[in-house]
Chain A
Amino acid sequence: MTASDQAQQPVLRLSNITKRFGALCANDDVSFSLGRGEVIALLGENGAGKTTLMNILFGQYSADAGEVEVFGQRLAPGNPRAALDAGVGMVHQHFTLAGNLTVWENIVLGTQALTAPRLRARAAKARIADLSKRFHLAVDPDAKVGQLSVGERQRVEILKALYRDARILILDEPTAVLTPQESDALFATLREAIGLGLSVVFISHKLHEVMAISHRVLVLRHGRLVAERATADTSHEELAALMVGGAVSSPKIAPMPPGPALMRLSRVSSKGEGHAPGLQSVTLTLHGGQITGLAGVSGNGQGALSDLISGLAMPSSGQLEIAGEAITDWSPRRALARRIGRIPEDRHHTGTIADFDLTENAVLETYASDFARHGWLDWAAARAHAEALIQTYDVRCPGPDTAIRLLSGGNMQKLILGRVLETRPRIILANQPVRGLDIGALNYVHTRLAEAREQGAAVLLISEDLDEIMTLSDVIHVISQGRLSPAFARGTMAPEALGRWMAGDGFAEVAHAS
């Protein structure tokens, strides 16, 4: 039986779903059905309405119009309980786990009536062990979720759905936070699940994954279902074009000789914040005219390195040199004075002040030096600067007086990018610069970073996305547990080899050799 035959007995049918948030139409008359054992990929840019659609299916939002049928039964809207009972399990993009609870506690949460006199811990753990084995989802049921890696947390999320006998799994951007090996393991689990008759809706904007795992692809754009293709009959290029509504081009990184060493870390160690690892004797040189890619699973010392470069932390040992000069006194202000531009990892919390308007956010780093006269802020100049950034960097917004929290992630990031680039930085720290951005905004940010490289800036690109690292970087390092791998020149390493470094292999040999 082929996938299309199976699709003829739908386990799930969405009919004419429409959902508005104010003036924004997040889902516009969307209909599709899912067959038994079928994997549908829901493809679309950020803001295309994928997550909203799945949240309606799962009952977290109520649709303004349309209905959902599961196994032929109409699902009561706006009630996750109904969806769960009908056999729908959802793995959210932002995990819905409680960090202070153990794995088994998270899994059994909500599976027993609240009036039940006691938790059935032993039975639950046995069932979890059985499911873990069957679906190759290794995880210790007694571990605190807060101490698990992102990959392990995702396994807990999947186990949660399986524990409740989910027949339909919805996975929202499941691979966004995984290493290539972890993604492969996830796909193996999904294939196992399909083999047992489960059906999957797989939300993604990574085309190669969509091609690898799905039977059918649905493309959402601006809330509308614009195309449906059998995966076998489509291509990467076609899907990319369908997703953005036109051809896409990513920046070309032409070879060029490395410039002078602008920043040098010699055997630098530093403390991490909280449970996050610090740096362990890291040696790293950033050259002008180069993009240095830092690959690694998040939480392996990227934060410590980025704090160090942006002036938020001092090395506890080792030396930091900028343009050949040893740095002894270090702070964010001094980092700015040394012309280090910073695109922080968390654009909502460290990159911007949510309730400040665009003008205020545009001058956050330079208000004292460039936008003050005799100690008074020069609002006219600041506003003009913000307007120039909006113009130059294509920030789509009502105007410079808008609170920045009302902007989409992509537009927020463009403003930050403009704020950084307009200071003509010599060193650019780009920490996860395109996380959560759609292809249009992503290419824009990448192109601008590539331009900065051509103009001689040293760019440190920190990302969890290997594709991004491999496309843009002249030189790649891998970080794992606060240790830095040797530098790998562009094109010399396969993703799998980098993945092994990301998993922590290879460092031991280096330690022995040195």
Chain B
Amino acid sequence: MDLIDILTSAAFWAAAIRIASPLIFATLGELICERAGVLNLGIEGIMVAGAFAGWIAVWAGLPLWGGVAVAFAAGMAFGLLHATLSVPFGLSQHVVGIGVTLLATSLTFYTYRVVLPEVSSPPKITAFQPFEVPILSQIPLLGPAFFAQTPLTYAAFLLVIVVALVLYRTPLGLAVRAAGENPQAVAAQGLSVTAIRMGAVIVGSGFMAVGGAFLTLSAFDSFFFDMVNGRGWICIALVVFGAWKPGKALLGAVLFAAFDALQIRLQQTPIGAVVPYQLFLMMPYILSILALVVMSRRAEVPAALMVTFNKGER
């Protein structure tokens, strides 16, 4: 099987879209935080917590969408912690973020052991099943690739549009964008920078957790500790790659996912027999770094990203 065959197969693109879905949720979450001026390095831990919370809720008997809601709420709780420390208290966003990641990861591990003290392998749930969109899924190539996914994937793509609309077409989105660029401008209009930034971090963290929950509720049907596996950090890079714009971030997520899907398939080609598999595993990361170098040259960083705002300070 050569490269062209891979790139023209519906199965390859279906896999790419599936791999991209959790990245899309979490990247949008991070993008919202950063647009408001807060770097959220809690993302990795929040994704772990979301993956666990969604899965355990469904295991305990909630419907799948209930699991998504529980994950979202768990993410918001960690978001509230992050926001409280980083916005009104103005602590270093790096330290707070890494702290939240460590806390969320450890707390997940602890809760897992408390809830399931005896099990050797985690129980399985019935995950989201692919839903074939009538008519659209019949389109050759595109149909099976894009329109035979799980509902959560459709939700991810829908969310890109929603986030873009809110950011660019509503007063709320305008305030969020201004808060990340010049909080003084927001304060001078009588709006609360603290409330806007905290809100953005809380909601953004919720989306990160849903990204994590995609792994347990849609991509797989169970929870493993290393399943998030650095995806959160990739999303931080994807936000930069996407120049803090939802549409471009989506493109970045799909591109990264395509590289990831590609390397798995290349491992099974004759080249894969000669080249050590670790090199294939590296591929998406190396290509993302290269893409990042090219794409982020001209990107406009939110000017007040990581700049704390204290009212009345002189």
Contacts and interface: CB of A to CB of B under 8 A. Distances in A.
A469 B135 CA distance: 74
Contacts of A114: 171-172, 175, 191, 196
Given A80-B188, A109-B175, A110-B190, A118 B169 contact: yes
B175 A84 contact: no
B190 A84 contact: yes
B170 A109 contact: no
A28 to B, nearest CB: 17
A84 B189 CA distance: 7
B312 interface: yes
B314 to A, nearest CB: 6
Contact of B302 (A62, A100, A106, A112): A100
B190 to A, nearest CB: 3
Nearest to B302: A100
A60 interface: yes
Contact of A94 (B171, B184, B187): B184
Given A114-B175, A115-B172, A90 B181 contact: no
A109 B172 CA distance: 9
B116 interface: no
Interface residues of A, number: 39
A148 B311 CA distance: 27
Given A99-B182, A100-B302, A92 B170 contact: no
Given A119-B169, A119-B171, A60 B178 contact: no
Most chain A beta-carbon contacts within 10 A, residue among B169, B177, B190? B190
B141 interface: no
Contacts of A100: 177, 181, 300, 302-303
Nearest to B181: A98
B196 to A, nearest CB: 8
A346 B178 CA distance: 25
A116 B170 contact: yes
Contacts of B289: none
Contacts of B170: 116-119
A62 B172 CA distance: 27
A411 B177 CA distance: 37
B312 A108 contact: no
A38 interface: no
B236 interface: no
Contacts of A58: 188
Contact of B190 (A80, A106, A108): A80
Contact of B182 (A80, A96, A113): A96
A97 interface: yes
Given A80-B187, A80-B189, A90-B188, A98 B178 contact: yes
Contacts of A52: 314
A101 B187 contact: no
Contacts of B91: none
A98 B190 contact: no
B174 A92 contact: no
A467 B314 CA distance: 29
A98 B185 contact: yes
Contacts, number: 93
A96 B175 contact: no
A251 to B, nearest CB: 32
Given A84-B190, A116-B170, A99 B314 contact: no
Interface in A39-87: 52, 58-62, 78-85
B311 to A, nearest CB: 8
B245 to A, nearest CB: 11
B243 to A, nearest CB: 11
A98 B259 CA distance: 37
A101 B300 contact: no
A65 B200 CA distance: 36
Contacts of B174: 101, 105, 108-109, 119
B26 interface: no
B73 to A, nearest CB: 21
Interface string B158-187: 000000000001111011011001101111
B184 A96 contact: yes
Contacts of A85: 190
A376 interface: no
B22 to A, nearest CB: 28
A321 to B, nearest CB: 35
Contacts of B175: 109-110, 114
Interface string B18-56: 000000000000000000000000000000000000000
Contacts of A116: 170-172
A94 B185 CA distance: 10
Nearest to A107: B189
A115 B196 CA distance: 12
Nearest to A81: B190
Given A80-B189, A80-B190, A118-B170, A101 B181 contact: yes
Contact of A110 (B177, B184, B186, B312): B186
A126 to B, nearest CB: 18
Contacts of B191: 81, 109-110, 114
A97 B169 contact: no
B312 A109 contact: no
Contacts of B171: 108, 111-114, 116, 118-119
B308 to A, nearest CB: 16
Nearest to B182: A98
Contacts of A119: 169-171, 174
Given A114-B171, A115-B172, A119-B169, A60 B185 contact: no
Given A98-B303, A109-B175, 9 more contacts: A60-B311, A81-B191, A94-B184, A99-B182, A99-B303, A105-B177, A109-B189, A116-B170, A118-B171
12 contacts: A79-B190, A90-B188, A99-B182, A99-B303, A109-B174, A109-B178, A109-B185, A111-B171, A114-B172, A114-B191, A118-B170, A146-B300
Interface of A: 21, 52, 58-62, 78-85, 90, 92, 94, 96-101, 105-106, 108-119, 146
| A-B complex: 8 closest residue pairs judged by Cβ atoms | A110-B189, A81-B190, A98-B181, A96-B188, A112-B171, A80-B190, A96-B185, A98-B178
